[in-house]
Amino acid sequence: MTRHGPTRRTLRLAFLALAAVVLAAVGGAVWLVADAGLLRDAAGAPAVPALVVLALAFAALTGLWACWGVLASHFADLERLRAGVLVASVSRDGRLPPPRDRAAGPDEVARLREAVETLVLRRLFPSAGPDERLTAVLATLDEAILVVTEQGQVSLVNAAARALLGDEPVRVGSSVFAALERDDLLDAMAHAHAEPGGAVDATLPGVDGRRWPARICELTGHGGYVVRLTATPVGGPRLRVVAEDGAVHHDLSLHDALPEAAADDATPLFDLPALVFDCESTGLDVRADRIVSMGGVRVHGTRIFHIANIDRLVNPGVPIPPRSSAIHGITDELARDAPPFPEVWPALEPLLRGAVLVGHNIGFDLALLRRECSLAGLTPPAPPTLDTLLLAGLLFPDMTDLSLEALAERLGVDIHGRHTALGDALVTAELYVRLLPLLDSAGIATLAEARAFTGRATALRARQRAMGW
């Protein structure tokens, strides 16, 4: 996988050399003993049967083979630990991916892993600072507080808001419109923006039918709004706010502006603008099937910009087969009121402009995208692409299962919302940014080098071409 450290080939050559030395030593010893006449008795008959000599030689080789197995396993664990440290360098929590064998007892590799993880965590998260103390203050409030981006992504939520609206609907990074009605909240945000003080009082309907008295304040200069809800819904009793924990969850980097996208072959991977993309479809035939949903998120280098995303249902204009609905959950009824592809394309095209298209089996998604554009009379896109399946297959030759689930477990990525277009895109984005330091360690630094690298995955590419993309 890498250009650093002992490889399996080096280890195998060392083992063969050691085996040759041992056999030569055993042969030399036998020859010396035989030359001294110690292997024959007084009558000249063999004193040590040949089978005994062979058994000793076999035992020596078996011992060497066992040593080879132990050494190979240790070097594999050390290589996995080295890769894990590189992955931790770009992960948000600084934690290493899980070890190969979670059930194994402590040994020198496990102890080294523990020490490295402790060092990484202490360096990246040294102590509770002002931000953590502010979080502790917010956790004491019984008023529900949400901070959302201009697009409605949740960037901060306190325990009271999670207790009132549910953990999943207001999870950081998710759309607040899963908890509060879109049109009413957008209208209140527009009024707050227009007010001199940047704040308005409103009643916000929830998707569950309850109505919440609220105050909406513009987050001036940071592209977002603070939404404060009382614990007393309109026409109902005051609710007792109880949450499983009092933590404030947040990722205020969601408000950061997206850098300009301009990629060419010489662009370093750590500066590469990319759109990580996935779509769900009516089937797997790229020549006949249609898109039913699209999801994507922009990435710049190792940074995921959750604020720049797309998550849209698409009316395919044809019936959705039950076997496909069983996988992604999108039925004819759900897609009936969704816009057709030509009406969704204007929301996707700006995210794709100037960026590399990244995905797991991205050739499939691009083929569907190009076909939809052709059917709509639009110019089919032809962006450069990077396939995370091909990259992972080359970086982890020991893995036979290259599914998103298997790679997520290998690299320590939490899975949310699998088999939804945006859910798959977000998981793929997390995998992609974790692959970048491993590519760099392997001497692959630019887009051109990464695309040439994926060309080596001949078996995987042949399988993809056989499927039509």
Q: Binning pLDDT at 50, 70 and 90, where does residue 422 land?
A: confident
Helix (H, G, I), strand (E, B) or coil at 237: coil
Once rounded to an integer, what is the mean pLDDT over residues 208-222? Answer: 91
Out of 127-141, 255-269, 438-452, give the one with best mean pLDDT: 438-452
Distance, CA of 152 to CA of 451 (rounded, Å)? 35
Distance, CA of 318 to CA of 331 (rounded, Å)? 11
* H-assigned helices in 361-445: 362-375, 388-395, 404-411, 421-441
Pairing of strands 385-387, 356-359: parallel
Percent of the chain having pLDDT more than 70? 80
- Whether 419 is a known active-site residue: answer yes
Beta strand segments in 301-346, E: 303-313
Q: Binning pLDDT at 50, 70 and 90, where does residue 22 land?
A: low
What confidence score (pLDDT) does residue 201 get?
95
What does the pLDDT look like over 447-467, one tens digit per residue?
A: 999 999 999 999 999 999 998
Q: Binning pLDDT at 50, 70 and 90, where does residue 2 land?
A: very low
Q: Binning pLDDT at 50, 70 and 90, where does residue 313 land?
A: very high
Query: How far is C-alpha 66 from the chain's CA centre?
Result: 37
Distance, CA of 363 to CA of 263 (rounded, Å)? 19
- Name the nearest CA neighbour of 173 among 192, 190, 156, 158: 156
What confidence score (pLDDT) does residue 30 get?
58
The tokens for 243 are 């949450």
Q: Regarding predicted confidence, which is higher, 82 or 429? A: 429
pLDDT surpasses 90 at 75:
no
Q: Binning pLDDT at 50, 70 and 90, where does residue 256 land?
A: confident
| Lowest-confidence region among 131-145, 199-213, 383-397, 455-469 | 131-145
Once rounded to an integer, what is the mean pLDDT over residues 264-275? Answer: 96
Q: Which of 74, 191, 416, 419 is catalytic?
A: 419
- Name the nearest CA neighbour of 223 among 146, 306, 147, 296: 147
Q: Which amino acid is at 358?
A: V
Once rounded to an integer, what is the mean pLDDT over residues 338-354? Answer: 96
